[in-house]
Structure 1
């Protein structure tokens, strides 16, 4: 770093017309002692009188206090927000001298002394402002109520690759001072692209070269080299973070940041293991511009008094509902029984594989005795490789023996299994595994090729021996590891984390859901009790997650010959082969799988039909099941009770209903999913006129609202999604499902759709599913979706449907308005709900995983464009 040659310049206020900036926030503060001559800072300050809490916000390079404008705007009563412009940055004084990290921490201390900032204080830091704010925090622990960090670093690594490139001697002044390239590059990292007025505001303090000198200085002061003058300061901050072990910390991270990647997040997680983390998979470097950081901070500070009763922040800073994840009140910290592979069952069949790649059908099976032996030897081998209790291990293995053995081996040594559904597709799988950040990855060769090509995290272990393991950077393979010996640690407890399971992504970005051993055990026990599962049962699991419960329940299980990522590939003969092989009494399949089984039933043999006749229970879940489909599938299993459990990745089951009960259920609006399962409490949060949940939890019937549940087998939390967990845990110990519905007078639950799909009409909120079902009962209608078009609170109903191609109706090759006869039919079943338009489409967009969850959000956007007279493509 070279001494700047630019002349000093006084501090000044920003232009009054900057987008989103209230000029009343702007103030200049002179600090007499700085540099021995006194310096003037510009800062934004909402100047709250008698604050209960102060947020001290420190920007990085090349931004300024404008980055925190939303936080000033959204600050609750009695919360003061001070966002500083560091000296020589933003609109603060240009001093004409170099400033290093230690100088900036000293100067921030001098400023807060001048402001008489006594506490309690929460520091908020972004980029290199994160390190500066941490330096201040470590000096002021007596007044520190919390720490908030976004996309920053304190590690002694070589530094971000982008920064190392910019630090090139010939590039640095060109990109930072002689041009606006560095600023423009930072602004271009936002997702989506920043609006023009916002880009203008960020550039406002740096319009001339003489005002950009500190941008070069900041980059040059990053201690990439071990002998750098600021290296000791940063190392001191990093080494001192243990002192914050009792201070609440929130870290929010834009994972698409090419500067501060997940590497820096994970480093800070190791140094601050108690921190709350919310990771935004698609957000970039300027996270406060890409996500509602201010809203998350406001919610987070509302929890500080309850977390720190011994600190100055014990007084609540504003009214909020208590944040707590679902509690473990029914689960004690005892040894877990989940890893028990039931070796005492000896020669009883445990798992059968059908249609395994490269092997003839039925060529592989294991007994419970063999399974227990494999689990023990695999656990020892994983321990020999370095897997330790608490380590995350991603399992990229198709359902079958290898997956079950490796899963139970992980549980035996206390490792956390990361289960990622291949139905997410390559992009979804990559996003999930990067979010989970496993230490190890066990996979089939195909998965290991993807892991290397896509740079998935984790040391790689192959399910089988490879000829050239070095090509895939494999550290071991299961057959070889099973010959190793290593002492096993004590079994995990019910309170220990057991798995991270990812949602299907059908109703939003896939989320990691954390489960403890106790919660998974409770789920196993609830399912066994609900459906009277006994040791005499045998399971065909055409729904991949349930294939793993056979060993836990001590019953034989088999996955049919199918592509588990595409449930619609299950044929009737494949299901029949599986039922014959295991002499099934239980069959579990998703609706998409059952649909193809029904469509291909003519190929069933007498042996298949005889095996189906011995099935006592048919289950279908994973997506809404049309009664007509469940009835058609039940005809194939003449002696089976057909049930559909309702639930979600975060809590399954919540309720269950039989086909007979579905047929008898009347008077509801939507899908009747039955009565709550034993140990499950269900409540409703009423919707306001804008479709938002509000008020207390209700048990009274016929109230439309969000479904909220509580159960011992519900999730332990979300993974690196603090705010998602906060919103879904209101009130404490409950899970807000995101589904809307009603309880009827018999206590049964009716589901009307997703919260985000509620239509806010002038007459009140409308859930779509009830009307969709009525439309689907019309002649020639295969499927229907109901969406809202227009402003919130004044939306109009639009129906989109597909035609059943049975010869009586003509399916369209492109979207079209339905004829008047069809419109009249739809309006007749809609009753007092006014339908303004009906469209016939070649197809309705559905989720990739279950092939049955309709993307109503996408259809609503399409319908709005179509009604504006545009000709959008088929959605």
Structure 2
């Protein structure tokens, strides 16, 4: 922090002598086109230093003034200040500095400084340009008590000893951030509070918290809370969820009071979010980007990624359950869904009845339109019924599958903040004990079966929330993805059109999330007997049995699942052609690049089927599609181009734009054949990410016409025939000195040479001078590959035009849990860097 930021000012106090304030003042912005001044208010027991990182990020375009409240930090020690006094003090300081003379300002507040910032904001609406709030509150959220840590510190027996007499409260505040602060930062936070006299205001601050109904500041705080709904300026709620003081309940409370607020929830963030080291994006970076985007409001002229020709209107929108109603009416006695693991099955009539009973039960339990309902029911028939019942009731089904792993599942559910949880006793107990869904009402799936047999069920509007789904977490924490009824309906229709699906089709879904589509498409769906958390455990026998049970015409499985089907096929009676697979007309596989060699092996097992590899992602599926014959043709045209995923399906637009583009500038398409980042748009592209403003802003750039696109995070190119080629993830591109090297072409070249071997191509070294390292999976190995393997790898990669610096071998290459196919190249790169540097390394693990 620059020393010249620190200064003191004398501020006339209304009706009293001037008070000396300490402030951190960055001074005039460095650029001519500057933004509004930002005033930052700290909480208790910190000081202006808590905003120093944010000030550094904002200083180029904004003057930042972070104040030390009276009695706090290095400001003058004064008699006790109540909440109303502190709001008035802040107004005095802003006036004394003349900060509003040149126009409205941005007010930012953290902890109890947020309440004071809100107090100033509602009293000065004409001077407010925007407001940023971090881990703060204005009232205790309904249905919960004040934070236990605050109640304890405020108790008459401990208040003076903990807050003034000893530095316990000061040191405890920084401990809340655990390893997210350095020792230097912890020491700096405590520096102004070395002695008891310097800590008097800390105790006064805690004592002013209205923990009892006759508290002096209760009325003033309540008055501010009531007026927050009148705030019209842009608001950013930047939140660290790992906070025992101002947790997500306070975030939800403020969001309800200011519905227009943008939210960014930092999964790794805690109580002292503005100062914490939490990886990218940091709170400082997000706040700076938000302000530079003029309050982060999406430009009115910009078009949504789902607003393209052919978008579904209210007039022609078919509800997600419409096909179930149709099948119950026309083929009611036929099986709708079969679970091979349990042996259970439902007819179309039974399924529709259970969905409608469940929907009525959910409405009776209090589910309102748009309410989030977490599905913790294990994969199977009950989970399908629960998901459709939620949607039919008007709720938003929050579906985080077990493929995320236990930790990922907890993080996903907590981030979505469901109001209801549906699951068996064990799942509900875990959700309560581990606080996956604080305050949510718990519902047993059995209660939905016993729902009312009759009663009105309103039909949700197309634009209302229908679901929150989660990405696989292969490149970071799983992100919640919001969908409306119209978008899911358009997605259903796109799948039906792409694969010519009719009521005569029958699907075997060996991938739990894809099983949700079956009933909505109006086709019988079978779930094979396999562990959904281990896709690679699906056997040929299990797949064949499921296909035989329903006379399947379609099957969907991940690449890892199909690979094991091929490996285990010889154990099934019937030899190369598995009996249950013979009637299949379509086999689909997705989730990661699917080797054509694997598809040919599957084709030998299902000779009548066309093999398809749909390309898409949680945020938009399908994007493109290709079948095996076309893959072979593409490989012949360009064997080193990556993975050809085919042409965009009807209704999808694809653009290739420059890597690492500025999301604030219009995106421009690259020429045919040029490698860049893949952008897509369609009527079924999701509504956006959930509570992740910065990621959403970066992922939805606009072109020169204002049309918005979805940033897939993949890189590739479009060839002269209009075919889309995927070459890897943008974050995994090897930035070598001669130029960027994409990983997938390298990996595919090695996979062809070392048949059946998993391969990862990663970059090691500084950005711009990275070296290409190829890691092959070989059981029992953990270091340099053999000379023979290294020679084969280098020979295979040579036609790609990339120079291999080293070839390593690892016993296992880490992949995601959901698909067991997406390689964690970041983990592989770290491991490879350690090996090549001679550092002690731990063996890589599959998960």
**What is the TM-score with the length of structure 1 in the denominator?**
0.89
- Larger deviation, residues 124-133 vs 217-226: 217-226
SS at match of 2:37: strand
List per-residue Cα deviations over 1:421-476 (Å, max 9, x = no partner).
01112221111111111111111333223223323322111123xxxxxxxxxxxx
Which residue, out of 232, 238, 243, partners 1:252? 238
List per-residue Cα deviations over 1:795-848 (Å, max 9, x = no partner).
111111123xxxxxxx4x241312333333322333242222111111111112
The CA distance in 2 between the partners of 1:624 and 1:93, in whole Å, is 64
Query: Is contact 2:104-2:129 (8 Å) kept?
Result: yes
The CA distance in 2 between the partners of 1:368 and 1:479, in whole Å, is 15
1:195 aligns with 2:182: yes
The CA distance in 2 between the partners of 1:372 and 1:643, in whole Å, is 31
**1:325: Cα distance to partner?**
5.7
Equivalences for 1:675-754 in 2 at 5 Å?
675-687=647-659, 696-731=667-702, 733-754=708-729
Structure 1 pair 442–736 and aligned structure 2 pair: CA distance change class (3 A): same
**1:553: Cα distance to partner?**
1.5
List per-residue Cα deviations over 1:482-501 (Å, max 9, x = no partner).
45x5432x201111110000
1:349 aligns with 2:334: yes
Structure 2, unmatched stretches of 5+, are none
Structure 1, unmatched stretches of 5+, are 1-20, 315-321, 465-476, 804-810
The CA distance in 2 between the partners of 1:609 and 1:595, in whole Å, is 15
Query: Is contact 2:262-2:296 (8 Å) kept?
Result: no
Aligned residues: 814
1:280 aligns with 2:270: no
Query: Is contact 2:114-2:136 (8 Å) kept?
Result: yes
Which residue, out of 448, 454, 460, partners 1:478? 448
The CA distance in 1 between the partners of 2:314 and 2:743, in whole Å, is 43
Equivalences for 1:705-854 in 2 at 5 Å?
705-731=676-702, 733-779=708-754, 782-803=757-778, 811=779, 813-831=780-798, 832-854=801-823
Query: Is contact 1:592-1:850 (8 Å) kept?
Result: yes
The CA distance in 2 between the partners of 1:353 and 1:344, in whole Å, is 19
Structure 1 pair 717–191 and aligned structure 2 pair: CA distance change class (3 A): farther
Q: Which residue of 2 aligns with 1:570?
A: 538
Q: Which residue of 2 aligns with 1:672?
A: 644
The CA distance in 2 between the partners of 1:750 and 1:128, in whole Å, is 52
Q: Which residue of 1 aligns with 2:27?
A: 47
The CA distance in 1 between the partners of 2:541 and 2:792, in whole Å, is 39
1:264 aligns with 2:250: yes
Query: Is contact 1:538-1:556 (8 Å) kept?
Result: yes
The CA distance in 2 between the partners of 1:818 and 1:263, in whole Å, is 52
SS at match of 1:42: strand
**1:546: Cα distance to partner?**
1.9
The CA distance in 2 between the partners of 1:327 and 1:227, in whole Å, is 52
Q: Which residue of 2 aligns with 1:294?
A: 284
The CA distance in 2 between the partners of 1:687 and 1:428, in whole Å, is 29
SS at match of 2:450: helix
Q: Which residue of 1 aligns with 2:2?
A: 22
List per-residue Cα deviations over 1:178-207 (Å, max 9, x = no partner).
332222221122253422222232222223
**What is the TM-score with the length of structure 2 in the denominator?**
0.92
SS at match of 1:857: helix
Q: Which residue of 1 aligns with 2:194?
A: 207
SS at match of 1:229: coil
The CA distance in 2 between the partners of 1:28 and 1:763, in whole Å, is 53
Query: Is contact 2:591-2:821 (8 Å) kept?
Result: no
List per-residue Cα deviations over 1:521-541 (Å, max 9, x = no partner).
111111111111122211111
Query: Is contact 1:775-1:781 (8 Å) kept?
Result: no
Query: Is contact 2:657-2:670 (8 Å) kept?
Result: no
1:592 aligns with 2:560: yes
SS at match of 1:53: coil
**1:570: Cα distance to partner?**
1.6
Query: Is contact 1:145-1:304 (8 Å) kept?
Result: no
The CA distance in 1 between the partners of 2:659 and 2:337, in whole Å, is 48
**1:407: Cα distance to partner?**
2.1
**1:564: Cα distance to partner?**
1.8
After superposition, the CA RMSD in angstroms is 2.4
Structure 1 pair 140–161 and aligned structure 2 pair: CA distance change class (3 A): same
SS at match of 1:673: strand
Query: Is contact 1:352-1:400 (8 Å) kept?
Result: no
Q: Which residue of 2 aligns with 1:114?
A: 96
Query: Is contact 1:710-1:735 (8 Å) kept?
Result: yes
The CA distance in 1 between the partners of 2:402 and 2:61, in whole Å, is 48
**1:222: Cα distance to partner?**
1.3
The CA distance in 2 between the partners of 1:104 and 1:76, in whole Å, is 26
Query: Is contact 2:338-2:346 (8 Å) kept?
Result: no
Query: Is contact 1:351-1:400 (8 Å) kept?
Result: no
Query: Is contact 2:667-2:701 (8 Å) kept?
Result: no
Q: Which residue of 2 aligns with 1:127?
A: 111
Structure 1 pair 353–797 and aligned structure 2 pair: CA distance change class (3 A): same
Structure 1 pair 392–185 and aligned structure 2 pair: CA distance change class (3 A): same
Q: Which residue of 2 aligns with 1:370?
A: 350
**1:691: Cα distance to partner?**
12
Which residue, out of 13, 17, 40, partners 1:57? 40
SS at match of 2:516: helix
Which residue, out of 596, 611, 616, partners 2:585? 616
**1:727: Cα distance to partner?**
0.8
Q: Which residue of 2 aligns with 1:174?
A: 161
The CA distance in 2 between the partners of 1:533 and 1:124, in whole Å, is 54
Q: Which residue of 1 aligns with 2:569?
A: 601
- Larger deviation, residues 773-782 vs 720-729: 773-782
- Larger deviation, residues 344-353 vs 667-676: 344-353
Q: Which residue of 1 aligns with 2:361?
A: 381
Query: Is contact 2:563-2:598 (8 Å) kept?
Result: yes
Query: Is contact 1:253-1:278 (8 Å) kept?
Result: yes
Structure 1 pair 35–28 and aligned structure 2 pair: CA distance change class (3 A): farther
Equivalences for 1:167-566 in 2 at 5 Å?
167-190=154-177, 192-244=179-231, 246-290=232-276, 291=278, 292-304=282-294, 307=297, 326-328=305-307, 330-334=311-315, 336-340=318-322, 341-342=324-325, 343-347=328-332, 349-357=334-342, 361=343, 364-457=344-437, 458-464=440-446, 477-482=447-452, 486-488=455-457, 490-566=458-534
